[in-house]
Amino acid sequence: MTRRRGKGRALGLGALVVAMSTAVLAPAIPAHAGATGGTTTVVGTMRWWNGTQRSAAFGNGDNLAPAYGQVITPVSDSTLDQFVFLVKLDPSVLVRGFVYRWNAGTPALSGAPLWVGKARHTTSGTGYEKLHLDTGGLALTGGKRYVVFLSTLGIPQPDSPTAGEFAVPSVNHRDEYSGGGFVYSYSKVRSEWHTVAWGRFSWDLCFRAVLTS
């Protein structure tokens, strides 16, 4: 089983490989009253990671996808405070976080970026770690689709291709989040994010999104 990706290429199941890891995940955070009186809700799939399942085709290089992300759909009008991915990536590779509206029909990005983060890197390439992207409180409309993602494009990178890995939920829990799924782009210029179809799987990445309503 494969899913379509931009420029007629497909990311096959062979890119989802098994590796051992000792990372420990915290349980999902229940909804609670926020500091401003709103209700904070955490959605995501990290608790369904089995410590081994991953997608290993992310990175900088001709045969690697420079953008991996997750489509989300807030249930009600909310602010997105933070999103988190679980990654294994050499610290020499820089990534930047993005939030856009999502056009499911293309499928591709829609409109101008809603949020762009600073370039950053992991602290160690030897194990999985959580990359926390703090948006400062980004207003989202309930029922609309958005995509949160990481990309290596537009940032100086190592001369040699460097692959990274994103954790994905175990086989029995691949599609626990009903508001979207795992998407990726092989486009090498950011202008194509809107015009070239992104690839997508029916399951999710291991992610966490913190929203306040």
Q: Cα separation of 178 and 196, whole Å?
A: 25
Among the residue ranges 18-32, 78-92, 188-202, the one predicted with the least confidence is 18-32
User: In this structure, what token pair is assigned to residue 169?
Assistant: 């939920």
Using the predicted structure, report yes or no on whether residue 29 has a pLDDT greater than 90.
no
* pLDDT value, residue 160: 87
98 backbone φψ class: left, alpha, beta (φ>0; ψ -120 to 50): beta
Using the predicted structure, report yes or no on whether residue 50 has a pLDDT greater than 80.
yes
Residue 93: exposed, middle, or buried by beta-carbon count in 10 A (0-12, 13-18, 19+)?
buried
Residue with tokens 């929203």: 211
Q: Report domain extents, the chain.
A: 42-212
End-to-end, the C-alpha distance of the chain in Å comes to 38
Tell me the whole-structure pTM to 2 decimals: 0.84
Using the predicted structure, report yes or no on whether residue 28 has a pLDDT greater than 60.
no
CATH 2.60.120 is right for the domain spanning 42-212: yes
* pLDDT value, residue 38: 82
Q: What is the pLDDT of residues 65-74, one digit of tens each?
A: 999 999 999 9
Q: Categorize the per-residue pLDDT at 77 as very low, low, confident or very high, splitting at 50, 70 and 90.
A: very high
3 state DSSP class of 8: helix
Q: What is the pLDDT of residues 118-144, one digit of tens each?
A: 999 999 889 999 999 999 999 999 999
Which regions of the chain does DSSP assign to beta strands (E)? 3-4, 10-11, 32-33, 39-44, 54-60, 67-72, 78-88, 96-103, 108-116, 129-140, 146-151, 162-167, 182-185, 199-200, 207-212
**Single-letter residue type at 177:** Y
Reported residue count of the chain is 213
